[in-house]
Structure 1
Amino acid sequence: MHTHTSEESSTADKDIDASQPQPVALTADDGYRLGGFVWRHREPLAHGAPRPVVIINAATSVRCRYYFRFAAWLHRHGWDAIVYDYRGIGESRPANLAALEASWLDWGERDFEAVLRYAHRAFSGQPIDVVGHSIGGFVIGLAPSNTLIRRVFTMGAQYAHWRDYARRSRPAMLWKWHVVMPALTRLYGYFPAGRLGWMEDTPRGVALAWSRSRARFEDTYRHSPIARGQAQRQALASRFAALRAPILATSVTDDAFGTVAAVERLLGYFTRSDTIHLRITPAAVGVESIGHFAFFHSRFEADLWPIALGWLRTGQLAPATPGAIVSSHGALD
């Protein structure tokens, strides 16, 4: 992990190529060290408006490096950009993962929160946008400083409640994520997903919460080693309502996680945000499949990435945007 503090990002060096990501290290409020990367322009925007900065929140146990091409593309289109790894993953993995107590709550309340505060401090006066992939859309609601966000774009964002899995895939997914994952997690002290080629090794708190997810996410933490009392659980849920940024939630029809039910379940928490749920078929962009991950592949630079770019730039959908609107809600609808 890079050793600069959040105030010592190497992006401050004048000799650095701004088109290349620079490592940055941040510290969460509990002292945990997080690693990430920053793309930062040296010059202000030509028209004098403040340059926006975008934070990319990864899917569960996906390294931040997976989003490098997308972040670099947004950088070329005018944004400063930040990617980072949640505790336990990639640049933020400790020497002994089995000793790490971490859950999705930590990823939102502490890790994303630390990145939000860093962006607010290091990119002072710049609008902050967020791109959230899968659980990366969920953790937005957990951060106490989510009121700082200007706009949100999500892809397949949900919190993996098993009843929302695509029906055709549900039996295999139940076996994989609700039988194999918790069993191996209890055996190893963390989920050794890397050995199976499924994703990055995962902290046990994340794996076990996923395996017992409830229809209301806060109820997942009613009985567990990281249990929260009723008032604490209600406070977690109400924090989502602090977000006022408009959300474009995208999903694709061949994503077994990002079903209509799953995406709508999460959007229901963001009661003070204007939300649009856009659903895209692979055929709409001339391909056979997209799935849960491929949106961020560079082969979709011309077809899908402009959807995110346009939303972050204007807060509106372009007339020729592929897909169909599933739902559109004003704040407190």
Structure 2
Amino acid sequence: MLTQNITTEVVSVLVTARDSVQATVFKPGGDITGVLVVHSATATPQGFYRAFAQYAAGRGLLAITYDYRGTGLSGSPRSQHEIKMRDWIQRDIPAVAQWAAERYPDLPHYAIGHSVGGHGLVLNYGTANLKALAIAASHVAALRSISPWTERLRVIAVLNILGPILSRLCGYMPGQKLGLGEDIPRAAMLDWSSWTLRKNYFFDDPSMQAKRKAEELRVPMLAIGASDDLWASEKQMDLLAEHVTGAPVERRTYSPQEIGATSIGHHGLLRRGVGEPVWNDILNWLTR
């Protein structure tokens, strides 16, 4: 792990006139060669990406992690229950990217998006100043594409039955109690649930204009996944990546055996103790 001489700074990034997100900046001790923004997965606090951000900073990249509104350090899901998943995609992601571009205008910019963070990048949000981007475990998360059927039933139970019911009863999605990670706003849960029921996820939601947005992306993209990820299978990731028609896309799927891990799953490629063998590959691809 390359962590020597790294300093951190906690900053507040304005998203709307009354809302902001809390971000952490990891600064290399020596020369800064670029800026890397990490866009989180759903219900995954920015602290999860600390090891990856430190590794990137050890490589000379100034790395930025943050929490979406209504999660982690960026506010309570109870008090920000109206925040939708589309708000994370359409507002939070570009707001942090724009803040980074304005604060560090003379450096090349890169981004990696995990799951919903990758969805935002594929839909061309927060990409205006990027040289290259990577997405990890980002997929068309429609129920019809989930296999085996046992996993599909589990997702239905959590995202389409328990999640919406508990969100309406509690005023937020109790993700920790359901084993989904952090708690998230009620509206975000309902957005997520409604998209999983559509044949082509948010590509079938006219209000998202997802097909057009993905076709407008012009930034080279690396799409990586894990062979044992039941949430984002290779097929599901391909269904997402194929919508990017205006930029070069490279696909890579890693197996646990390939990186010396027992399992990888949906979070493993960016998890300390599992994904380190691929981090150098990701950063080399972005900065080459």
User: Structure 1 residues 69 and 141 mapped into 2: Cα distance closer, same or farther (>3 Å)?
Assistant: same
> Compared with structure 1, are the counterparts of its residues 74 and 107 closer, same or farther at alpha carbon in structure 2 (3 Å cutoff)?
same
Match of residue 307, structure 1, among 260, 281, 284: 281
Give the length in aligned residue pairs: 282
Superposed CA deviations along residues 206-247 of structure 1, whole A, max 9, x for unmatched, are 21122121233446645xxxxx3xxxx43x432223321111
Distance 1:149 1:278 in 2: 21
Alignment of 1:62-141 (within 5 A): 62-94=44-76, 97=78, 99-141=80-122
Q: How far 1:312 moved relative to its partner?
A: 1.4
CA RMSD of aligned residues (A): 2.1
Q: Give SS of 2:7's match.
A: coil
Do the aligned partners of 2:269 and 2:276 also contact (CA within 8 Å) in 1? no
Which structure has the bigger radius of gyration?
1
Q: CA 1:215/1:273 → structure 2, altered by over 3 Å: closer, same or farther?
A: farther
The equivalent residue for 1:293 is 267
Aligned residue number for residue 173 of structure 2: 191
How far apart in 2 are the matches of 1:189 and 1:127? 41
Distance across 1 between alignment mates of 2:274 and 2:202: 35
Q: Which amino acid aligns with 2:190?
A: L
Deviations 1:87-146 (A, max 9, x none): 11101114x625531122111211011111111101112111111111110011445542
Match of 1:215 among 172, 195, 199: 199
Tell me, what secondary structure is at the counterpart of 2:225? strand
- How far apart are residue 287 of structure 1 and its match? 2.6
Counterpart CA distance in 2 for 1:294 and 1:63 is: 15
Higher relative contact order (CA 8 A, sep 6+): 2
Partner of 1:202 in structure 2?
A: 184
Counterpart pick for 1:175 among 145, 153, 157: 157
Q: Which of 18, 22, 42 is the equivalent residue of 1:31? A: 18
Distance 1:159 1:191, change over 3 A: farther
Distance 1:133 1:265 in 2: 16
Inter-partner Cα distance in structure 1 for 2:120 and 2:179: 25
Distance verdict in 2 for CA 1:72–1:251, change over 3 Å: same
SS of residue paired to 1:303: helix
Paired AA for residue 285 in structure 1 = I
| Equivalences for residues 143-162 of structure 1 within 5 A | 144-162=125-143
Matched residue of 1:248: which SS?
Answer: strand
Q: Point out where structure 2 has 5 or more consecutive residues left out of the alignment.
A: none
Structure 1 position 281 matched with structure 2 position 265: no
Query: Among 225, 232, 248, which residue is 1:258 paired with?
Result: 232
In structure 2, C-alpha distance between the alignment counterparts of 1:289 and 1:129, rounded to whole Å: 28
Identity of aligned residues (%): 26
Equivalent-residue separation in structure 1 for 2:35 and 2:223 (angstroms): 19
Q: Is the 8 A contact 1:158 1:262 kept in 2?
A: yes
**Contact (CA 8 Å) 1:164, 1:257: kept in 2 or not?**
no
